[in-house]
Structure 1
Amino acid sequence: MNWLIITIALVSAQGGFIYGLDTGIIATTFGHDSFRIKMYGGPFINPVLSGAIVSCYNAGQAVGGMSTGFLADKFSRKYTILIACILTIIGSVLQCAATGVGMMIAGRAVAGIGCGQLLPVVPTYLAETAPPSRRGFLVGLQGMMIAIGFGVANWIGYAGAFAQGDAQWRIPLAMQLPLPLMLSVLVFWLPFSPRWLVMQGRHEEAKAVLLKLHHDKDNVAASDDLVEQEIVQVREQIALEREIMGGLNWFAALRLMFSRQYIRRVFTATLIISWSQLSGSAVIQNFQTIFYGIIGFTGRSALLISGIYGMMGIIGQIIYLWVVADKWPRARTLWSGSAVLCSLLVICMALSAVYGKPGSSQDGARAAVASIFIYSASFAIWFNALVWVVPTEILPLFMRSKGLAFAMTFKAVFSIILSQITPIALTSIGWKFYAVFVAINLAGGLFFFFCLPETGGKSLEEIAELFGDGLATEHLGESAISGEASAEQHEIALSGEEKRIPSKV
């Protein structure tokens, strides 16, 4: 990787930080008495209104997710990031200026639309600019920034406890503004995705971008050959996809998403992305102050615990980037991670059942909190990044942005359901509610073990073969793939004179 690729990845991955901060800040906001007095009319917990505030944010994500596929293909990946940043800025202003629960809900909904666009478009952009051997690391940067966003949100909320009156929650909510403002400016510096440029017929621009991304000052000839091969492969893959659809129009792609040939990939991508909700991680993050109250920690103590909880995700994400990314097999990581999360939730439930009663040992309550901390770190190691890496790999180019948008919409639907019932369930049945996520993690582990093929280290076009599609560059022969294709072979490929009919599932 050269410094340009790393810089592009770090800049665009700030979208993950925006999502993490915007999503995580509401957990500590609920913990301030001044917020509850302003919104609920008293310092009490209102499960219905709390659920509504979180649900409307997730509903906004659903709307944003549904719009991303069209925007990313029509206006480019990078300008979709700009649109999302503008929406999160508007939503943040509404939240920190809220005079009542209605304005707060509206602000959360608008910010949710922006975050719903950022979540699928950033990994799409990263996957399409990353070299295959480092795609897990670079796309995983979004997961890293999400974890950092969560962690920073928790500490911002804790710091707010030292302010007075409404400033306790208005200042933390205003902290959502600086990063999208900065990214709105930096996005103009980012190059267009080379695969998006090829889809638009702008082949010379795509080649220029790839030359910058793959430039190797020590071996210029090798990097030039790599670019030539990649351009051929991408152009031929798009040509094959045009054959399948009779063109690359947006509605044809939507129809094919649910065809026999592609439904498996769309379903798998949707399930994996939805895992950030179904595994229980988001529920614990958003309503952790309620859980801490159940086992005896309230007020500033609960906010301090939230801050420490956020740091565990960052530690886990660092372990992922340096130990797991592009080193562990993708499928094995997901099913083994499901087993780990399932075990930790069982431990948390057992400790909460015994020590979650008034007058119980504080040591037991602290052990329950410790199990939640380990859960946060484990989710970051096994899932937080991979739930974005694998879906971007398994979806073909022509439906990548649309498929991720569809998956993001389903994730938001699950979020709406869980965010509405979780505060009510936690106040009614407490720790027993986590049994739902034990069962879900067990089922998910079985699915990943038996149904998910290994995609690590393969090009985005080669992964299509794992699901029964034809590989466009096969007709070049083994020499083309190994970098020994002649100029004449490249010219034939670029002119589209040779075609290979995709295999059918």
Structure 2
Amino acid sequence: MNSYVLLIALVVAFGGFVFGVDSGIIATTLGHKTFAVYMYGPSAKNASLTGAIVSVYNAGQAVGTFITGYSADKFSRRWTICAAGMIATFGAALQTAAQNVGMMIAGRFFAGLACGMILSVVPVYIAEVSPPKNRGFIVGLQGMMISIGFMAANWIGYAGGFASGNSQWRIPLAMQMPGAILLSIGCFFIPYTPRWLVGNERYDEARAVIVRLHGDSSEVFLAQEFTQIHDQILLEREGRNTNALISIKNLFSRRYIRRTATACFILMMGQLSGSTVIQNYQSIFYASVGYTGRTSLLISGIYGFMGVFGQIAYLCFVADKWLRTRTLWIGSAFLCIMISLIMALSAEFPSGTKDPSGPRAAIAFIFIYSFGYALFFNAMVWVVPVELFPFFLRSKGLGLGVFCKAVVAIVLAQITPIAIQHVGWKYYSLFIASNFIAGFIYYFFLPETKGKSLEEIAELFGDALATEQLEDIDTSGKEGMMVRGEAKHVESAL
């Protein structure tokens, strides 16, 4: 694996760390009584406002995806990531200085806006600089950084419990800023992706980036890499209007609707797996089985390690070794079993039970669930969707998938506190059913993309490679001759 590719992928994947911290910090923030009293008054309880604080973050994500679809193509993947880091810093500052619920909600909205941009563009950037044989591993680095971010958020929240007064939650919220600042700075030291450069007819720069990305390869390979990217983008654009609105319309055309639906389904099922609910509301769950206060925060901190361990296992044993489809359907079956056990234990040992073995077993299975989610899904839900789209739809298609994910997250965030309060353990049946359905779809209908270039994956959906169809494009005219000549010129220059 090219060390330069790995280095820039790690810089960009730091966006996953920003998302992990921003998403995870709210769980421990809600667990601090000082926060609840400050925001909700002496009762320290308000299920609707709690749901609003969590759900508005997901609403921000939804808005961020619309910005990314345009910005990533117009201004580049690189500078879109940089802007997202700046917006995340601003959102964290608002939360840290929040004087009321309204200001807190505004801060969470901007943090969500930034993370919606990050989730929509970081996998695209990494996929476009990764070689096909290592793409599952390299894109998986984002999942690794998300897990580290979640873990860091849990321990930052736990450490906040040792402060006094409102510092218990203000200091942890402020710790969202360093990662976002570093992400923005890092973007000044990474290249544009070669596909974006080719798409904007900056061929010399694209050639230079390809050489840096694959500098240990032969000149023949470098020439073929450029030619395949150039010709495929030419083929995709032939006879099409590629402005933003037309591109979004194309996502729902007969030719691309299956790819769009598949990407949206995978990202939505990532939410309906139950992972976000367990992460954001774990303090409520721990309280329901008898663990509160600093003990609850300590358990949250230990819980964070499980995602990191699972992600390490993914990178070592699953990434680019297992088939994508096998990883997803086995993972769905695993989560079904884990949530079924958690639901049974929650029903058998409700809050206030005198037998500690039941609550302990429930927490143990939550930990195993976290490990399994990281192993099978934390990276894979980003690897597969970003592989499905052609260049001119990639950022917009993934953005739409993240939008659908955010909409599901908004609904879950708003109803979860109320559902836990009114139906308790029965709420978990929703996630058992959704994981079962997802596993069925993955097993029977998901095409396999492992080991294929981003251009070759189009074949799985009925498209032909540019090498097969470029001869069919009308090159008799002046424009066609120029395109042909440019491709040959660059190939010979390499």
Structure 1 Cα separation of the partners of residues 156 and 296 of structure 2: 13
Q: CA deviation at 1:207?
A: 0.8
1:91–1:111 contact (8 Å) kept in structure 2: yes
Equivalence map 1:196-235=2 (5 Å): 196-216=196-216, 222-235=217-230
Equivalence map 1:79-478=2 (5 Å): 79-216=79-216, 222-245=217-240, 247-474=241-468
Structure 1 SS opposite 2:455? coil
Partner of 1:3: 3
Q: CA deviation at 1:305?
A: 0.7
Structure 1 Cα separation of the partners of residues 252 and 203 of structure 2: 30
1:33–1:43 contact (8 Å) kept in structure 2: no
Q: CA deviation at 1:274?
A: 1.9
Matched, 1:72 2:84: no
Q: CA deviation at 1:249?
A: 2.3
Partner of 1:57: 57
- Extract structure 1 runs of 4+ deviating beyond 3 A: 491-494
Structure 2 SS opposite 1:344? helix
Report the TM-score when normalising by structure 2: 0.95
Structure 2 Cα separation of the partners of residues 330 and 18 of structure 1: 26
Higher mean alpha-carbon deviation, 250-259 vs 112-121, is at 250-259
Q: What's the RMSD between the two structures over aligned residues?
A: 1.6
Structure 1 SS opposite 2:317? helix
Report the TM-score when normalising by structure 1: 0.93
Structure 2 Cα separation of the partners of residues 492 and 302 of structure 1: 68
Stretches of structure 2 that go unaligned for 5 or more consecutive residues are 472-479, 488-494
2:235–2:470 contact (8 Å) kept in structure 1: no
1:236–1:493 contact (8 Å) kept in structure 2: no
Partner of 1:495: 484
Structure 2 SS opposite 1:65? helix
The one-letter code of the counterpart of 1:234 is I
- How many residue pairs get aligned? The number is 479
Q: CA deviation at 1:5?
A: 0.6
Higher mean alpha-carbon deviation, 421-430 vs 41-50, is at 41-50
Structure 1 Cα separation of the partners of residues 450 and 51 of structure 2: 38
Structure 2 Cα separation of the partners of residues 497 and 39 of structure 1: 62
Structure 2 Cα separation of the partners of residues 40 and 262 of structure 1: 47
Stretches of structure 1 that go unaligned for 5 or more consecutive residues are 217-221, 478-490, 499-505
Q: CA deviation at 1:179?
A: 1.0
Q: Which string of whole-angstrom CA distances, capped at 9 and with x for unpartnered residues, describes residues 202-260 of structure 1?
A: 111111001000011xxxxx432222111111111111111252x43222211111000
The one-letter code of the counterpart of 1:397 is F
Q: CA deviation at 1:493?
A: 11
Q: CA deviation at 1:453?
A: 0.6
The one-letter code of the counterpart of 1:345 is I
Structure 2 Cα separation of the partners of residues 352 and 360 of structure 1: 14
Q: CA deviation at 1:176?
A: 0.2
Structure 2 Cα separation of the partners of residues 145 and 298 of structure 1: 28
Q: CA deviation at 1:474?
A: 2.7
Q: Which string of whole-angstrom CA distances, capped at 9 and with x for unpartnered residues, describes residues 52-91 of structure 1?
A: 0011111000000111110000000000001101110000
Structure 2 SS opposite 1:384? coil
Distance 1:357 1:94, change over 3 A: closer
Structure 2 SS opposite 1:13? helix
1:88–1:180 contact (8 Å) kept in structure 2: yes
Q: Which string of whole-angstrom CA distances, capped at 9 and with x for unpartnered residues, describes residues 270-310 of structure 1?
A: 11122221111001000010011111111111111111111
Structure 1 Cα separation of the partners of residues 162 and 106 of structure 2: 27
Q: Which string of whole-angstrom CA distances, capped at 9 and with x for unpartnered residues, describes residues 423-468 of structure 1?
A: 1111222221111000000000001011101000000000000000
Q: CA deviation at 1:494?
A: 5.8
Q: Which string of whole-angstrom CA distances, capped at 9 and with x for unpartnered residues, describes residues 106-148 of structure 1?
A: 0000111000000110000000000000000000000000011
